[in-house]
Chain A
Amino acid sequence: MTEKKRQIIVFLIFAAAALSAPFFLKDSYLITVLIFVGINTILAIGLNLLLGYAGQISLGHAAFFGLGAYISGILTTRFPLDPFLVMILAAFCAGALAFVIGFPILKLKGHYLAMATLGFGIIMYIVFNETVSVTGGPSGLSGIPYLSVGPLVFDNDWNNYYLVWISTLAVMLLAINLTQSRIGRALRAIHDSEVAARVMGVNARILKVQIFTVSAVISAFAGSLYAHVVTFIAPASFGFHFSVELLTMVVVGGLGSIYGSFLGAAILTMLPEFLRVFHDLDIIVYGLMLILMTMFMPGGLVSGIQMVTQYIAARKAKRKDEHAQA
């Protein structure tokens, strides 16, 4: 019970911080960055559910992100449809696609799963790129309308910030609940040992497909948001490169940690800000980060922070002991 209470408090603090941030930032450029941090957080959580909780890798998640963005973008620019309705439709389509390909793909393991999802991602990228009459092809699709609720139009940074962050918090809440549920425990069981989980009566196959579907739906939702916030989309944002960036976010932040996803998304999104000084170096920093994190901090930054706090706590306790002895 206390554990649950603690979690509620942590979430509330996080939500309060996220929602009050614009008041401190005023008209700063950081608001724009934080909008993208929000979108990337949603994506990272989506991937983390699959990668961190169920232990299934995907190198093609940018495809679902793109699918959401393109369905929203294409339908709202061509037809007078309600963007929110289209959003639901986009999420549904992505989910349906994930469900269908989930069965054969998730049968595969490890390296083979990685290659299959990668292949899927590239095929989707080619589709975005080559169906010029539908998607606008490589030079992109522009003129996507802003979202609006009644008289409120989400056409400036301040509005978009709240649009994105309320969505992000909702997704976080959903993910936290999901991982605390029976499903979450079953997922972790699969992660640790699929055979053992099966023996204990977990239907691993269905469960993996389900979580793959949920993950795709979340990614597509982020894609729809992205399309309406930026109002322009091009295939280059949904390629293999971005799938790897997403993977990096999850790994850097912490596999299997919702707040870790935020941390990873924030760092990777803000990285270019720090690296602008060095210009071409960011590709190297990416690579190094992936290598060093997997080698020395496989639990991501979140585990690093835990390690540090535990270490400090242990030191304190030890000192107290010494004090008492003296």
Chain B
Amino acid sequence: MSRNVFRMILVLCFSFLMAGAVFAAPPVKIGALFSVSGPASFLGEPERNTAVMMVDEINKAGGIKGRKLELVVYDTQGDATKAVQAANKLIKDDKVVAIIGPSTTGDSMAVIPVVERAGIPMISCAAGIKITEPVNKWVFKTAQNDVLAVMKIYRHLQQQKIDKVAILTVSDGFGSSGREQLRLQAKEFDIKIISDETYGPKDTDMTVQLTKIRGNEAQAIICWGTNPGPAIVARNARQLGIKTPIYMSHGVSSKKFIELAGDGAEGIILPSGKVIVADQLPDSDPQKKNLMNYVRKYQERYKVEGDHFGGHAWDAIMLLKNAMEKGGFSPAAIRDQLEKTKKFSGIGGTFSFSPDDHAGLTSDAFVLVQVVNGDWKLIK
């Protein structure tokens, strides 16, 4: 009896080995650096989830040119030291052909010298403009620049004939980069920033800053941050009875914000990736199909709503997939093909890379949305 079992196991093992030898070329390794824990986990977690989901999907569909993908994800915790360490591990130990991420601008800046030295293409999922300006041969990114978000808001303000604003930004990477752009572009749009306030990422009460703003003649308030700060700002503004229109950033474009801010969220306007209003888009929008697909699949798999942060990872993986299908699996070939990408419709927008543009998006990547009756409404 036991001998039979033994024999069976042996045969099974053998057949598996044979099968493996015949069918599977070794999988192609793709590295991923996301801040899955730490203060920027609101970026890293959906990004990791999305990347894992997409790679599974590609493999289920037979991989790329018959080869499966293998995703190696490391957590940077939003710390530059850990990001550099992990990037080195991906390149030297795991021998990946490309890296997606990191999630934050700081981590991306820290990793750039490493990928450049090794000659490995990287598609950052962070928004900072510094990442791709000046253009680095090996570095691309999928997150929309803050520049575009600010432009979208300022254009809307101009239409509303508003030229005096107060800005309230969080003092972390996201907020300070937004603040820089808000100040930089104000001149272009003839907008005066009459109050420039900040708050800390862990602050729990912003009534003081808002009181200060209430005291001057700002016609609109622009708050730049990620949850939970802006939700507190929205609630505090409601408490203080502030009636001036409030604009926020794409950093809060998820249902979580509306849930946290409650009644305070009503009427707030923000630029956002199209993903949260996918169903309201006209059918002619080239992104609509992908967006609807992504939203549905993410909801099915993770039981929470997909947001545009996860979308950055979706774009990165799909861009890589396209490049590999065209150019093969060597890092240099992937890079060259990435740069030739034209009119790729992703979650974050329609990408067209060129040798002088590794960000690849135009301002139509953002739409303006407003919170109406506790849900997002597309502003036409």
The answer to whether A and B assemble together is yes
Given A231-B113, A237-B80, A279-B75, A138 and B175 touching (CB < 8 A)? yes
Fill in one digit per residue for A113-131: 1 if any B CB lies within 8 Å of its CB, else 0: 0000000000000000110
Q: Known contacts A230-B84, A237-B79, A237-B80; decide if A139 and B93 are in contact (CB<8 Å).
A: no
Residue of chain A at shortest CB distance from B172:
A138
- Name the residue on A nearest B117 (C-beta): A156
Q: Show 23 A/B contacts (Cβ-Cβ < 8 Å), sorted by A.
A: A32-B85, A32-B88, A36-B85, A138-B176, A139-B109, A139-B128, A139-B130, A139-B176, A140-B105, A142-B109, A157-B88, A230-B84, A231-B113, A232-B84, A232-B109, A234-B106, A234-B109, A236-B39, A237-B81, A272-B85, A272-B86, A273-B89, A279-B75
Residue ID in chain A nearest B109 by CB atoms: A142
Q: Which residue of A lies closest to B95 (CB)?
A: A29
A74 contacts partner chain B, Cβ-Cβ < 8 Å: no
Number of interface residues of B (CB under 8 A): 34
Question: Shortest Cβ distance from A140 into chain B, in angstroms?
Answer: 5
Which A262-298 residues have a C-beta within 8 angstroms of B? 272-273, 276, 279-280, 283
Q: Which residues of A contact B198 (CB under 8 A)?
A: 130
The answer, yes or no, to whether B171 is at the interface (CB within 8 Å) is yes
Given A139-B130, A280-B36, also A234-B171 (CB < 8 A): no
Is chain B's binding surface mostly helix, strand, loop or mixed? helix
CA distance A272 to B37 in the complex (A): 13
For A137, give its contact among B37, B85, B88, B171 (CB under 8 Å): B171
Choose from B85, B88, B110, B113 the contact partner of A140 (Cβ within 8 Å): B110
A20 in the interface, Cβ–Cβ < 8 Å?
A: no
Closest to B111 in A: A232
> Whole-angstrom distance between the alpha carbons of A138 and B105 in the complex?
10
CB contact between B177 and one of A139, A233, A237 (< 8 Å): that residue: A139
Residues in A lying within 8 Å of B, measured CB to CB: 27-29, 32-33, 36, 129-130, 132, 137-140, 142, 155-157, 226, 230-234, 236-237, 272-273, 276, 279-280, 283
Q: Which residues on B sit within 8 Å (CB–CB) of A232?
A: 80, 84, 106, 109-110, 112-113
Residue of A nearest to B41 (CB): A280
Cβ of B303 within 8 Å of any chain A Cβ, yes or no, is: no
User: In the assembled complex, which residues on chain B have CB atoms less than 8 Å from the CB atom of A157?
Assistant: 88
Which of A139, A233, A273, A276 gathers the greatest number of chain B CB atoms within 10 Å? A139
For the complex, give the distance between the alpha carbons of A236 and B172 in Å. 9
CA distance A296 to B89 in the complex (A): 34
> Do A140 and B106 touch (CB < 8 A)?
yes
Q: How distant is the Cα of A236 from the Cα of B37 in the complex, in angstroms?
A: 13
| Cβ contacts under 8 Å, A132 to chain B | 176
Expressed in whole angstroms, the minimum distance between the Cβ of A73 and any Cβ of chain B is 12
**Contacting residues, chain A, for B176 (C-beta < 8 A):** 132, 137-139
Asked if B267 is at the interface (CB within 8 A of a chain A CB), the reply is no
Partner of A27, one of B79, B82, B92, B171: B92
A140 cross-chain contacts in B, Cβ below 8 A: 80, 105-106, 109-110, 173
